Amino acid sequence: MSDLILLKRTSIRFAILCIWAVVWGTFPAAAQNGIPASPPSYSLILFRDAISLTLYAPRLPDGVGVSIVGLIFQVSDESGTTAHSIERYAAFRGISFDNLPAPVCFHLKLAGSNVPIPIECGEGTLLLDQSLAASDVFWYDAATNEGRLITVVHHGEVVGICPAGRARCEMTYAVTVAPTPPVPTASTTTVPTTLPTETPAADPIPTIQYRGDKPVIQFANPLGVKGEVEAYQMNPGASNSAVQAVGCVTGGTNLALELATNIYLVVPFSEFRQAVKEGDKHRVTLANGDEFVTALSIT
């Protein structure tokens, strides 16, 4: 009888241990050690050939939003280093780059070309196309007839390198998850005497300054994009009006936008289209549809 009782007690203890092991095993190892679990990693895939470049963003499990804000393609050639952002293209406007409707494919292609899309960009995937001039096909070197080395940078950190000549490249970085704010308690909660007012976002306001006889357009906007471009007056004998300084930028001048530390996006200023007077300001429009309202001044 005593053996039977001992056997029953042993069986009960074993069952309890099994249940405890199952429950405890459902917690991540990091949480068991008191260490917060690492944020999930996310993979982007880059496809390219001589006339097209496609960025594929797959869907994350559990509906986690994906952000590619600050993602830059940096390429170098004999003329220097340039950086290119998916966010700047007109065809991709309206997309929430901080919460992508994944799966999605951003497809850059040579204008007039008809290139097959990657299989990942087929049915069930949002496909967005942007046609480019031959001079804007930054990922391919027509002189050497091969793809250029692409360094992929996310918020200033290198997250991937696509070697020259490789047609498919994958890059991985950690998904940024916003921390959960602490629950305020009676002892720590303070009530402000005045409510803060929200400052509305202002239009980019460029200015013009002269270095010798050479006007320089300088600008910045609320998103932190800033830069300058040297402008040349085509008619030195005319008055130095703000409209003339903008309207007479030569086609060969480049516009440099600082997207991150030591990372620049170079845009040919031949894309400048017009400056229309609006009251005491001017609305400047570029070829890709980008525009800004400016209160130009000369100092």
pLDDT tens-place values along the chain, 299 residues long: 544 444 444 444 444 444 344 333 444 444 445 555 555 677 899 999 999 999 998 887 766 667 788 889 999 877 788 899 988 888 887 788 888 778 889 999 999 988 889 999 988 888 899 999 998 999 998 888 888 999 998 888 888 899 988 899 998 876 654 444 455 554 444 444 444 444 444 444 455 555 555 555 555 443 444 445 444 333 333 333 333 334 333 333 444 443 333 333 444 555 556 666 666 666 666 666 666 555 443 32
At 19 the pLDDT is: 39
Q: Identify the pLDDT of residue 233.
A: 33
Please provide the DSSP assignment of the chain as one string.
Answer: -HHHHHHHHHHHHHHHHHHHHHHHHTS-HHHHTT-PPPPPEEEEEEEE-SSEEEEEEPPPGGG-----TTEEEEEEETTEEEEEEGGG-GGGTT--TTS--SSEEEEEEETT--PPPPGGGSTTSEEEEEEE-GGG-TTEETTTTEEPPEEEEETTEEEEEE-TT-SEEEEEEEPP-PPPPPPP-TTT----SSPPPPPPPPPP--EEEEETTEEEEEEE-TTS-EEEEE---S-TTS---HHHHHHT--TT-EEEEEEETTEEEEEEGGGEEEEEEETTEEEEEETTS-EEEE---B-
d(CA 41, CA 60): 10
pLDDT at 10: 45
Taking the complete model, does pTM exceed 0.85, yes or no?
Answer: no
pLDDT computed for residue 235 by the predictor? 33
What is the C-alpha separation between 190 and 95, in angstroms, rounded?
Answer: 38
